[in-house]
């Protein structure tokens, strides 16, 4: 074996031996002196020269001693000054300014402010059910002629839809003409009751035609011309679009047949599904805007008309109905749109930035910055979420306090370690209970 290889082997062995001595504390690198001697006396690291309450290991807070020294890991023990142990027992953490700067601790004040939320959802355009009209006939008959004969046709109010032949209608018209001649014949009778009886008979026949939705103009034309019409004309009750047509020429129709369905599209409904956490913000009467994909940049304005009192079982969402004016007919049923609801602002609520809250699932914690570089975790009760970075706080902190908005995970972890260490120390220092047999015989 060459001399060069022997040198390498000897060097490696020496390093291994030195490592073993370092682990056993035989050989230790230079460490900073915890206490400096000044004038023969030991200078205290605590403010005002106070004596430390105890010393702890920096990597293991449960390892404590009454005097300075080395931890099991070879690190200098850290002094805990008087007053700090009480803060540690309550969960407070004291951090020197250099460490605060190094770990990037930032704080923000707890303030009172107005918070609001802008709710966005996908909406579906539908017919306004209050503007739907169905056309029925109140007489039995047959369709003689259709004036409106296909779906999607636009109609105006009062426009003829179809003509129906009804034997019952023809006989009622003839009865009206007979009653009119009878009234004219008895009108000159000196007996007042007889003259009034003829007028009552005419009024009863006329009333029967009116109940069948015969327009007054047709009745007056019948009385004027004394000619019976074979068919009854049905007119559109409102303007709109024919969405359903269930009749053809020659069909027999009756009282139960729905002949036409007419939808007025001058106003439409828009359905939007909202999540549960958005429901506290929504109320009837709030303003809403809508944008369509085929008309980019054009906004349609409306308002929240109704909030349904139940949730959809499958989607776990609640439906909200918006009313949108549609004078130009640009909004068509079954369209999808992007809906934005402008909710009412909550006035003068206690709020903190969203990043200041630690959520564990069971509780919500905020790290409060105290004077002297101390930090205290405190459990808080949250209210509504504004959605733009602010949370309402109902209890746990007060206005004017400062909360940590960054590096709070490190502070919270250190606080829990110190709190656990203090509980362990208190258990070790507690004197045995009188008569505790388990402590007898112990030195």
What pLDDT is stored for residue 334 in this prediction?
93
- Strand (E) or helix (H) holding 221: helix 216-225
Spatial separation of the C-alpha atoms in residues 42 and 135, rounded to whole Å: 104
Pair of tokens at residue 154: 């636009």
Residues near 12 by beta carbon (within 8 Å), at least 6 away in sequence: none
Spatial separation of the C-alpha atoms in residues 236 and 229, rounded to whole Å: 20
What pLDDT is stored for residue 203 in this prediction?
87
pLDDT in tens, 146-197: 999 999 999 999 899 999 998 888 998 888 888 888 888 777 777 777 777 7
Task: HSE, CB side, 13 Å, CA atoms: give it for residue 337.
Answer: 32
Domains defined for the chain, CATH in brackets: 36-82 (no CATH), 100-115+347-429 (2.40.420.20), 118-128+264-344 (2.40.30.170), 137-258 (2.40.50.100)
What pLDDT is stored for residue 110 in this prediction?
92
Residues near 239 by beta carbon (within 8 Å), at least 6 away in sequence: 154, 155, 156, 157, 262, 264, 266
Residues near 139 by beta carbon (within 8 Å), at least 6 away in sequence: 164, 166, 168, 169, 212, 232
**Which residues in the chain come in under a pLDDT of 50?**
1, 3-41, 86-89, 436-443
Spatial separation of the C-alpha atoms in residues 65 and 57, rounded to whole Å: 9
Q: Is the Cα torsion angle 147, 148, 153, 155 positive or negative in sign?
A: positive
Q: For the whole prediction, is pTM greater than 0.95?
A: no
Contact criterion met (CB below 8 Å) for 214 and 232: yes
Contact criterion met (CB below 8 Å) for 343 and 286: yes
What pLDDT is stored for residue 419 in this prediction?
59
């Amino acid at each position: 074996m060459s001399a060069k290889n022997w040198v390498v082997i000897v060097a490696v062995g020496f390093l291994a031996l030195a490592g073993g001595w370092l682990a056993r504390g035989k050989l230790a690198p230079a460490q900073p002196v915890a206490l400096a001697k000044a004038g023969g006396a030991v200078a205290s690291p605590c403010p005002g020269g106070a004596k430390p309450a105890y010393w702890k290991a920096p990597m293991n807070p449960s390892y404590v001693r009454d005097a300075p020294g080395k931890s099991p890991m070879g690190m200098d023990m850290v002094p805990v000054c008087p007053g700090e142990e009480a803060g540690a027992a309550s969960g407070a953490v004291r951090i020197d300014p250099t460490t605060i700067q190094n770990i990037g601790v930032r704080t923000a004040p707890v303030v009172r402010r107005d918070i609001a939320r802008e709710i966005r959802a996908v909406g579906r355009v539908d017919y306004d059910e209050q503007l739907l009209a169905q056309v029925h006939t109140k007489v039995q008959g047959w369709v003689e002629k259709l004036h409106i004969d296909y779906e999607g046709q636009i109609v105006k109010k009062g426009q003829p839809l179809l003509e129906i032949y009804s034997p019952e209608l023809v006989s009622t018209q003839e009865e009206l003409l007979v009653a009119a001649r009878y009234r004219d014949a008895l009108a000159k009778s000196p007996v007042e009751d007889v003259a009034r009886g003829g007028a009552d008979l005419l009024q009863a026949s006329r009333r029967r035609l009116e109940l069948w939705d015969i327009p007054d103009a047709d009745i007056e034309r019948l009385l004027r011309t004394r000619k019976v019409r074979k068919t009854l004309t049905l007119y559109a009750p409102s303007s709109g679009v024919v969405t359903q047509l269930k009749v053809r020429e020659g069909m027999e129709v009756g009282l139960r047949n729905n002949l036409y369905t007419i939808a007025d599209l001058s106003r439409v409904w828009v359905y939007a599904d909202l999540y549960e956490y958005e429901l506290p913000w929504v109320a009837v009467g709030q303003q809403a805007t809508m944008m369509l994909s085929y008309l980019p940049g054009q906004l349609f304005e409306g308002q929240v008309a109704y909030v349904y009192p139940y949730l959809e079982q499958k989607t776990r969402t609640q439906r909200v109905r918006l009313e949108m004016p549609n004078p130009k007919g640009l909004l068509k049923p079954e369209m999808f749109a992007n809906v934005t609801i402008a909710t009412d602002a909550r006035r003068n609520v206690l709020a903190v930035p969203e990043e200041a809250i630690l959520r564990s699932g069971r509780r919500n914690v905020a790290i409060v910055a105290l004077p002297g570089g101390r930090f205290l975790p405190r459990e808080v009760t949250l209210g509504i979420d504004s959605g733009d970075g602010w949370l309402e706080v109902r209890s746990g902190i007060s206005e004017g306090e400062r909360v940590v908005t960054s590096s709070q995970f490190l502070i919270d972890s250190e606080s829990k370690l110190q709190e656990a260490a203090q509980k362990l120390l208190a258990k070790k220092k507690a004197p045995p209970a009188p008569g505790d047999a388990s402590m007898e015989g112990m030195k």
